[in-house]
Amino acid sequence: MEFLLNPDTLVAFATLTFLEIVLGIDNIIFISIITGKLPLEQRKKITRLGLFLAMFMRILMLFGITILIAMKEPLFSVNWSWFSAHFNGQALILLGGGIFLIWKSTKEIHEKVNHIEHHTQPSVGAQVSKSIVGIIFQILMIDLIFSLDSILTAVGMTNGLDGALYIMIAAVIVSIGVMMLFAVPIGNFVNNNPSIQILALSFLILIGFMLTTESMHLSDAVLMGQDIGAVPKGYLYFAIVFSLAVEFMNMRMRKKH
């Protein structure tokens, strides 16, 4: 256990925990939106249960990290006249996640704009159970999508350190604990402000697009003679911060009037 006294270990743990929390913000926003359809008394319980299960899933992914690293090898290729790519496991996961985020977010925006409400009838136990199971499944699925990059980053940061696996597991546990504390307040804020909901869903569409381009980049995809590159994350973060700043100013002005 001497590795615990190593300054590099402590720095790696603190950095990984911070990264896991920052990268988990997208996760919390998505969870708050899909749990917003549940009765108020069930949101807190389902949110924490979903995050708790997600924590175990991340730990299992860490144990299977060698499989994730091996997923860089191409599984199959396509070579059409206008498009070519060499898809590997990582690329397929990111592509599936990107398409899922774009589809789910677009569907949610359509329902909210057209005032399509989903009412859960507490008296019908089978419907409630089916809804809860579906929501937990979506939480786990979206956590799987968002976890891939962070876990691979964690492996890169702890490469060569003694007790690297323990460092990564500890960072995951601490970050999930922090997310559990703030998931409900953030969820309540998002659900109580319709404009923030639409903005958050728009961000998820951008993230879905970014995941899709990242998958194409990993696959060395060429579209009509042009290489498809990944969208720099800085562009996405700037768009999110700028949009949020404008929306908060609008909210403040609406409150004054």
Structure tokens, 208: 């879905």
Structure tokens, 250: 């609008």
Helix (H, G, I), strand (E, B) or coil at 5: helix
Total domain count, the chain: 1
- Please provide the average confidence, as pLDDT, over all residues in the chain: 76
H/E element, 14: helix 7-35
Confidence at 120, pLDDT banded by 50, 70, 90: very low
> In this structure, what are the phi and psi dihedrals at residue 118, rounded to the nearest 5 degrees?
-110, 110
Q: Looking at per-residue confidence, does 165 or 102 come out higher?
A: 102
Separation of alpha carbons 122 and 146, rounded Å = 32
Asked if 178 and 187 touch (Cβ cutoff 8 Å), the reply is: no
Confidence at 152, pLDDT banded by 50, 70, 90: low
Q: Looking at per-residue confidence, does 221 or 67 come out higher?
A: 221
H/E element, 52: helix 40-63
Asked if residue 150 has pLDDT above 90, the reply is no
Which residues span the domain enclosing 172? Answer: 2-256
Q: Looking at per-residue confidence, does 185 or 37 come out higher?
A: 185
Rounded (5°) CA angle 62-214-199: 95
pLDDT of residue 85: 93
Burial of 227 (0-12, 13-18, 19+ CB in 10 A): exposed
Asked if 29 and 190 touch (Cβ cutoff 8 Å), the reply is: yes
CA end-to-end span of the chain: 60
pLDDT of residue 83: 93
Global pTM? Answer: 0.65
Asked if 82 and 224 touch (Cβ cutoff 8 Å), the reply is: yes
pLDDT of residue 221: 93
pLDDT tens readout for residues 197-252: 788 778 878 878 888 888 898 899 999 889 988 887 778 778 878 888 888 888 88
pLDDT of residue 108: 78
